[in-house]
Structure 1
Amino acid sequence: MRRGRRVTVAILCVAGALAGCGTPAGTDGDLTNGWPALPAASYSPPAQGSCLQGAVAAFEPSASPLRAVDCAEPHAVEVVGGGTVPDAPAPPAWDSDPSRAAYAECDKAATAYLGGDWRTGRLFPVFRMPAAATWQAGGRRYLCGIAEASDDLFAPQERTGSVKGGLSGGTGPLALACVQLSGGNLDAKGFYGTVDAVKPVACDAPHDTEFVGAWTAPAGGYPSQQKLKELAGDACYLKIAQFLGLSQTQLFQRADIYTFWTGLTANQWALGDRTAHCFLNVSSKTPLRVSVRNLGTKRLP
């Protein structure tokens, strides 16, 4: 019993020592009150017009960090807008209705900022939902950005200066017009069987391909690759005919102009963007040096 009492007293003394063995001046000894609440977690996305540097990819969910830089410095993304998504236990999935609704708002913001549809330019959207850690901290703001592309397969390209108004009037400095293909499996007529790059060039430089417009597929489930080829091929063929000022029958009678298109990836479709870029394509053996808009039935220049 004596040993038990001595141990108890020792424990109490240690506890008293940890508590400071007394009440400090100006306190009441109650540690459960008088403490201010911690401030609520907050997240402020970059403002419209801000420029960001970091790794980006078109139509790919990503949590790679982006840091703010001066727009006069090399950067990958320019912020065109943003918004808030409804509260939920976790950030919306890429192919969810909230993500598609947010992306649609980003699409509108990009058009207003650029002065034209980004799909008609050497550009691609950068869409970011809050990362998981930001979401848990209370962040519900998504980011809408635009990046310049080095080719029409959406390879990112750093730039300096702003893209604002870069598509004004449809002929701005970022407008997509003439491109040069590179690839493999070149056939006897000079057409590529596989394409690795679709590089924009000036129309007075040698090129084998010209942008004729964008086409949006009807809503529905993601088609098979064969069905995509049929849908986009037929739609782009019509756009080529209109671009040249021909009927489809007249275009069919020409053996020197082919159809080429890009876009319509599964991730792009899942986000609600079902747009393809349509191009006319001529043999790499007979490159063009001017636009062929309204060429009609005349020979290739």
Structure 2
Amino acid sequence: MRRTAVLLAVLLTAGCSGAPPDGTDGDLTDDWRLPASPAPFRPATGQCHETLAATAALDDYRPVDCAELHVSETFHVGTAADADVVPAAGSAGARAAFQECSERAAGFLGGPWRTARVAVQVVWPTKAGWSGGARWFRCDVTTADLDGQSRTSRTGSLAGELAGASALELGCFNPTVDGETVTTMRPVACDKPHRAEFAGLWQAPEITYAALESGTERSAAGCRSVIARFAKLPDDSDMQYRTGWISYNPTRTEWLSGERRVRCFVYFAKRTFTRSLKGAGSSMLPVD
């Protein structure tokens, strides 16, 4: 019993000595780190995706390497203004996001995306994600036809794609026309026989989309001026006798987002060329 008492006395004496164990400062609370506040999911740039959607949920976020087959590529992630709900199509918030994506796309691609067979789309968080505090918008780019509808899979990043010669750049075409409706525009090398060529972009006015679609006289005048500059022709009333024209409007979604650039093409119903008409002048395109 005496040995037990002595051992207990020694332990009590050590515990009350006031000296902390080696390697400690005696304070059990000052070195604990507070846990980080939970943050909403935010996607990353430089990621590619197998699909293209208007909204993206965390559960569906499965980016792939851009060297693999994919449909879209995220080149920028912006921060949206705070609001109660996800910005609706045509709202100031949605237009601001699209404008930021459109401007960033030019830098990413190396040239204006409206001059190529690509499309830019804003991808928003889901309603649930927005309610949870997500305030990002994703800027995705994808290959598309002239209507901005067809998305096809590809491999490799589009970074710098338009900085030099690119197969995606709008050039020469052989259109199929049914009455006054262009049903297809088949790309063709400009040194091969063709009847249409991309001439440039016309900035449409602030009108309704229905007015744009039905106002062919307005589009004709705008595109004829674009063609005149492209082919170095007098921009006067004789333009209607020198060439025809084809226009491709932005999609309805793009129009609601603030996109006003209309694609203009010089067009001939029967005459074909085996060279570009850029700078062709009046001698090659006389009044007919």
TM-score, normalization: structure 2?
0.77
Amino acid at match of 1:53: E
Inter-partner Cα distance in structure 2 for 1:291 and 1:79: 34
Counterpart position of 2:268: 282
**Higher mean Cα deviation, 117-126 or 286-295?**
286-295
Counterpart position of 2:172: 178
SS at match of 1:82: strand
How far the C-alpha of 1:168 sits from its partner, in A, is 1.4
How far the C-alpha of 1:100 sits from its partner, in A, is 0.8
Inter-partner Cα distance in structure 2 for 1:183 and 1:114: 31
Counterpart position of 1:188: none
Identical amino acids, percent of aligned pairs: 34
- Which of 40, 43, 46 does residue 45 from structure 1 map onto? 43
Contact 1:152 1:199 in 2 (8 A): no
**CA 1:225–1:251 in structure 2 vs 1: closer, same or farther (change >3 Å)?**
closer
**CA 1:223–1:126 in structure 2 vs 1: closer, same or farther (change >3 Å)?**
same
Considering only CA atoms, is the larger Rg found in Structure 1 or Structure 2?
2
Counterpart position of 1:168: 163
Amino acid at match of 1:270: L
Counterpart position of 2:220: 233
How far the C-alpha of 1:240 sits from its partner, in A, is 0.8
SS at match of 1:233: helix
How far the C-alpha of 1:41 sits from its partner, in A, is 4.9
- Which of 185, 188, 196 does residue 183 from structure 2 map onto? 196
**CA 1:115–1:70 in structure 2 vs 1: closer, same or farther (change >3 Å)?**
same
* Deviation readout 1:20-42 (Å, 9 max, x if unpaired): xxxxxxxxxxxxxxxx9996352
- Count of paired positions: 248
SS at match of 1:147: strand
Counterpart position of 1:137: 132
Inter-partner Cα distance in structure 2 for 1:82 and 1:37: 27
* Deviation readout 1:156-214 (Å, 9 max, x if unpaired): 12211111111115x444321112222423xxxxxxx2222223332233322100001
**CA 1:212–1:93 in structure 2 vs 1: closer, same or farther (change >3 Å)?**
same
Counterpart position of 2:192: 205
Kindly report the root-mean-square deviation, in angstroms, between the aligned alpha carbons of the 2 structures: 2.5
Contact 1:53 1:66 in 2 (8 A): no
Inter-partner Cα distance in structure 2 for 1:144 and 1:198: 27
Counterpart position of 1:262: 248
